[in-house]
Each structure stands twice: as C-alpha cells, then as structure tokens.
Amino acid sequence: MSGALRSFDGVKRMNITNLLRVLFNSLNTGSVYALAALGIVLIFRTSRTTNFAQGSIGTLNAYVAGYLFMTFGWSIWVVALASMATAFVTGILIDVFVIRPAAKVNPISKQIITLGLIIVIVGAIPFIFGVDTYQLSRFFTTGAYTVAGATLRHNTIFVVLLSLFLMSAIFWFIQYTKWGLAIRVTASDETTSRLMGVPTKTVTMLSWATAAMLGTLAALIIAPQGSVNPNFMVDVQVNAFFAGVLGGFQTFYGAVIGAYIIAFARNFTNFYISDIWADVIVYSSILVFLYLKPFGLFGKKPIRKV
C-alpha cells in the first residue's frame, strides 16, 4: 500500500488548491510514517536494534482489528482498542522470547532476527486468519471542510491531531518522568545503566510494547485506503525507516520531522513530476543528502571520550 498521493482530477497546475491537496494528504500519510518511525527509533535507542519488522507487527495486529470488525461487527473504535492491547502483548512477547535470547548470542543477530520476524509473521497470518483480506473503516467516515477548493476530511484532522498528541505525550514522558529518564540513560549506555540499578530489561520490554502499539495505530490509519493484507505495510516500513535515517536516529523528534518531509516530498513529486519516478527522485535525494550529512538532519557524530 503506497502512502503517496496518486492523482487528482484536473490540470496539474501550481496553484493553491493543488498545493493544499498535496499538503492535506501529506499530513495524513506523514502521521502514519511518523508513528511507525518513532517506534523504530524508540527500539533502536533502548535495544540497539533496528526493527525491520515494525510494519509486519502492525500488520499482524491490524488483522486482529479486521477480523473483529468484519466478523463481529464491532465499531472501529472498539477494534482499535482491542488491537492495541494485542499489540502491547505482541511487543512484550517478541522482546522476552526472541530479542533477549538473541542478544546473549550476538548483538548483530538481533538485527537479522527482526528480518526473520517478517517472514514468520507474514507466513503465519494465512494460518491464523485465512487467505482473505479484511476491510477497516476510517475513524470518521463522513464530514469535511473545503479550504480554497481543497477537501480536508474530518478523519484527516483527527488522525493528525491524535498522532501529534501521542507523539507529544511520548516526548513529554521521556523528558520529564522517572521512567523517561530510565529510557534516556538506557539509550545512552545500557551496561552502565544496569549497574546503576536501572531496570533496563523492563525499559526495553516496554519500548517494544510501545513500538508495537505505534506500528499498529499506523496500520489502522492506512488500512482504509485499501485492504488489510500481508504486505500492505511494506511501504510504511520503508518510509518510516527512511524517516529515522533522514531525521537522525540519535533523536526521537528527528524521525517525526523526517516522516512529514518524506510524505510531502513523495506526494509533491508524484503529483507534479511523475508517479512512476516519484520514489526514485525522493529516495535518491535522501541518499545525496546523507552523503553530505551522514548522521541526518538532527544527528550528531558520536564523540568517544578517553
């Protein structure tokens, strides 16, 4: 499922209406990328693991939501809460039974195992939920504002506000609470933190659980644009990872800003230049930028003190 804007009716002219259409769509898809990217960076900072399975974990729990939605007719609000709960449990199980044993063998193996998780999850989905796809509705199915000829749906407003609220709450939690301090010191030096009495295992476990919930929420937002199928979060995973790289893995807010930049850049090039070459242009530009600034927009080169 591509989060990029595909096409609009009318002539592709550089006017305020078309720019607002690109912007509104970018706010929606950017929020999806930002939620997934924040989960990836959160795990990287606490577990030193690049979670390539963030999208697949979101897909698994989106299937839970889709199954409840289509089988029992529950509202999207109820199935969203249910799938977030299963995502929390999923994150804990992955950390305890998959990541921790791998870390004892070789830290690099954690990266490889997250790639293996993609295969396991995608392969398990048909056995658990069958081969049929599922549908999910938007949180708000009706209602929209018209701004200079461009349509701004109520659902888009809700998604953006919810995403910004959750991301702000996470930033506040990390910066101003005791557990947030534990996350920051674990991210700085896990071994030293553990020797100082910080419950690093609990920190990493909750980080995986939180990241799984963020990935699931991203899946629930993007799913109504198509259907819930084993590969519908591939595009989100790729762009979330690029967002983390662009913003810099050393900061939590960098990934969020990078996500919105990528969403707007993809939609803008898709609409005004070419829907075929949009991804090539955007990703190539990011690679060139990283060549000039390898630690991202807000990342800094690590300094080792002797």
Q: What is the pLDDT of residues 277-292, one digit of tens each?
A: 888 889 999 899 888 8
More confident residue, 306 or 273: 273
Question: What confidence score (pLDDT) does residue 196 get?
Answer: 81
Question: What is the signed CA dihedral for 224, 225, 229, 233, rounded to 10 degrees?
Answer: -110
Question: What confidence score (pLDDT) does residue 1 get?
Answer: 46
| Dihedral sign from CA coordinates of 34, 270, 159, 61 | negative
Strand partners for 4: none
Question: What confidence score (pLDDT) does residue 228 get?
Answer: 95
- Cα–Cα distance, 244 to 41 (Å, whole number): 7
- Cα–Cα distance, 233 to 170 (Å, whole number): 23
pLDDT band at 207 (very low <50, low <70, confident <90, very high): very high
Q: What are the tokens at 202?
A: 């609990």
Question: What confidence score (pLDDT) does residue 105 get?
Answer: 62
Burial class (CB in 10 A: 0-12, 13-18, 19+), 143: exposed
Q: At what angle do helices 54-71 and 234-247 cross, to 10 degrees?
A: 140
DSSP state of 284: H
Question: Which residue is associated with the tokens 């010191």?
Answer: 185
Q: Shortest CA distance to 206 belongs to which of 168, 236, 178, 164?
A: 178
Question: What confidence score (pLDDT) does residue 7 get?
Answer: 43
Task: Work out the average pLDDT over 4-13.
Answer: 49
CA atoms within 13 A on the CB side of 29: 28
Mean pLDDT of the residues in the chain: 88
Question: What is the signed CA dihedral for 5, 7, 8, 12, rounded to 10 degrees?
Answer: 100
pLDDT exceeds 70 at position 67:
yes
Q: Where are the domains of the chain?
A: 16-292
> 3-state SS string over 249-271?
CCCHHHHHHHHHHHHHHHHHHHH
- Cα–Cα distance, 45 to 94 (Å, whole number): 17
Q: What are the tokens at 240?
A: 């979330």
Q: How many CB atoms lie within 10 A of CB 188?
A: 10
Q: If one looks up domain 16-292 in CATH, what number appears? A: 1.10.3470
Task: Work out the average pLDDT over 47-76.
Answer: 94
Question: What confidence score (pLDDT) does residue 304 get?
Answer: 54
Q: What is the pLDDT of residues 148-183, one digit of tens each?
A: 889 999 999 999 999 999 999 999 998 888 888 888
Question: What confidence score (pLDDT) does residue 94 get?
Answer: 94
Q: pTM (2 decimals)?
A: 0.90
